[in-house]
A and B are shown apart, each in its own frame.
Chain A
Amino acid sequence: MVESLFFLLLLQLLGEAIVRFLALPIPGAVLGMLLLWLWLVASLPTPKKLEPLVRGILDYLTLLFIPAAVGIIEQKQRIVSDGWWLLLVLVFSTLAGIVAAAWVMRRLEKHDTYETPPGTENAQ
């Protein structure tokens, strides 16, 4: 567990360091994530207990959002004045994204089945 946590913290530190030294606009932890992703995809060796530690952290991920979420307490005025239309914008844009993604994927699927020779649809 200790090695795994050390490994994650080291990647987080590396990500933050690179972002700060190169003045990159992306969050340091995200760069740390991309580095770990490359590491894993390249099948490089990782600490033995990394998987269970990650599962443990991600199981309680929601808990970690609470301190930031409670900050909404300082936005009372903004919520009262802009809350309703912001809510509408957020809901509308989300549903528009769902429809757009589904529409594109369905279009591409029809294209796929068109190219598949008849009788082989279930051949997988």
Chain B
Amino acid sequence: MNVLWIDFWHWLRPSPLFGLTLTLGAFALGQVVARLCRSHPLANPLLLATIFIVAVLLATDVPYADYFEGAKFMHFLLGTATVALAVPLARHTPALRKDFVRIGAGILVGMTVATGSALALVWLFGGDATVLRSLAPKSVTTPIAIGIAERLGGLPSLAVASVMVAGISGAIFGIPLLRRMRIEDPRIVGIALGITSHGIGTARAFQFDVKAGAYAALGMAVTGALLAVILPLCFWLYSRLAALF
């Protein structure tokens, strides 16, 4: 009986039946809790599911590699989902064209400040290269951020954590901060939240105003596409310059 149980456990651990079932169950649980908390940004289903799975893995002594072996199928689909993001991006392209200078300037400045200040501060505080490469895509929507972090040689998990913090903090403090600046224009609220806090900020913007939500989705999509090209180029240039001196 005992031997059978141990055999079964060894078979189950790296199988998709463990990784996928645990992931789906944890996410379902996260969604229930989030609904109970009336979708407060802190009660984020991704955050809750991650905490729950980490707790289960620690309690059962399953290594991350075993869990990932089973769950990697979902991780692969992230790439496909990234391609699919072109559909909302194309849908928002006419709105971008209509108010190109203002939205473009808002996106470029906000994106540069949000990313540049984070990188400068990490560098000032003496963070190592891995932290720098993992935090760089913090304002980018998660699927693209994971792709960027992998491409830069950062840690995808640390990238996801940074993206979550950027998303949650922007969703909680963004609108009160903008109110203090006496900004209520849904277009500005939307762009500001979308480019700094991606999907989580976009969800918050939709709660504020439907128009703000649409603009947040636009800002998020453009930021993701731009930074996916700009960040690797910056890091490549930096390594070239560093090699020269």
Residues of A within 8 A of B (CB): 5, 8-9, 11-12, 15-16, 24-30, 32-37, 39-41, 50-51, 53-54, 57-58, 61-75, 78, 82, 85-87, 89-106, 108-109, 112
- B218 at interface by CB-CB < 8 Å: no
What is the count of residue pairs linking A and B with beta-carbon distances less than 8 angstroms?
Answer: 307
Distance, CA A91 to CA B68, complexed state (A): 29
CA distance A3 to B157 in the complex (A): 33
A29 to chain B, nearest CB (A): 4
User: Given A68-B157, A69-B161, A105-B188, A97–B139 Cβ distance below 8 Å?
Assistant: yes
Q: Which of B83, B138, B159, B188 contacts A11 (CB 8 A)?
A: B83
With a CB–CB cut-off of 8 A, which chain A residues contact B143? 29, 61, 64-65
- Across-interface contacts of B106 in A (CB, < 8 A): 101-102, 104-105, 108
18 additional A-B residue pairs with CB within 8 Å, beyond A30-B147, A62-B45, A97-B117: A8-B84, A26-B151, A26-B232, A27-B148, A30-B82, A32-B82, A36-B86, A65-B143, A66-B26, A66-B74, A68-B78, A69-B164, A71-B68, A73-B64, A90-B169, A95-B196, A102-B183, A106-B183
- Determine the main DSSP class of B at the interface with A: helix
- Among A8, A26, A57, A75, the one with the most B-chain Cβ atoms within 10 Å of its Cβ is A26
Q: Is B42 an interface residue (CB 8 A)?
A: no
A41 to chain B, nearest CB (A): 6
Assess the B53–A63 pair: CB atoms within 8 A. Answer: no
A39–B83 Cα gap in the complex (Å)? 12
Among B19, B121, B125, B173, max chain A CB count under 10 A is at B121
Q: B85: which A residues are within 8 A, CB to CB?
A: 33, 58
B169 x A95 contact (CB < 8 A): yes
Best-buried of A64, A97, A104 by chain B (most CB within 10 Å): A97
> Are the CB atoms of A105 and B80 closer together than 8 Å?
no
Shortest distance from the beta carbon of B8 to any chain A beta carbon, whole Å: 23
Contacts of A102 in B (CB 8 A): 106, 110, 178, 181, 183, 188-189, 192
Contact B229 A26 (CB under 8 A): yes
B235 to chain A, nearest CB (A): 7
Interface residues of B (CB under 8 A from A): 19, 23-24, 26-27, 45-46, 49-50, 53-54, 57-58, 64, 67-68, 71-72, 74-75, 77-90, 93, 101-103, 105-107, 109-115, 117-118, 121-122, 125, 127, 131, 135, 138-139, 142-144, 146-148, 150-151, 155-162, 164-166, 169-170, 173-174, 177-178, 181, 183, 185, 187-189, 191-193, 195-197, 199, 224-225, 228-229, 232-233, 235-236
**Docked pose: A16 CA to B82 CA in angstroms:** 12
Q: How far is the CA of A86 from the CA of B229 in the complex (A)?
A: 24
Q: How far is the CA of A87 from the CA of B131 in the complex (A)?
A: 12
Set of chain B residues within 8 Å of A86, measured between Cβ atoms:
122, 127, 131, 135, 162
Query: Are A106 and B110 closer than 8 Å at their CB atoms?
Result: no
Instruction: Answer whether A66 and B49 are a contact pair too, CB < 8 Å, given A33-B225, A95-B170.
Output: yes
A105 vs chain B, min Cβ distance (A): 4
Q: Which of B156, B164, B225 contacts A71 (CB 8 A)?
A: B156
Tell me the bound Cα distance from A73 to B226 in angstroms: 30
Report the Cα distance A58→B84, complex, angstroms: 8
- Shortest distance between the CB of B30 and any CB in chain A (Å): 9
> What's the least CB distance linking B53 to chain A, in Å?
5
Select which of A51, A65, A94 is within 8 A of B170 by beta carbon.
Answer: A94
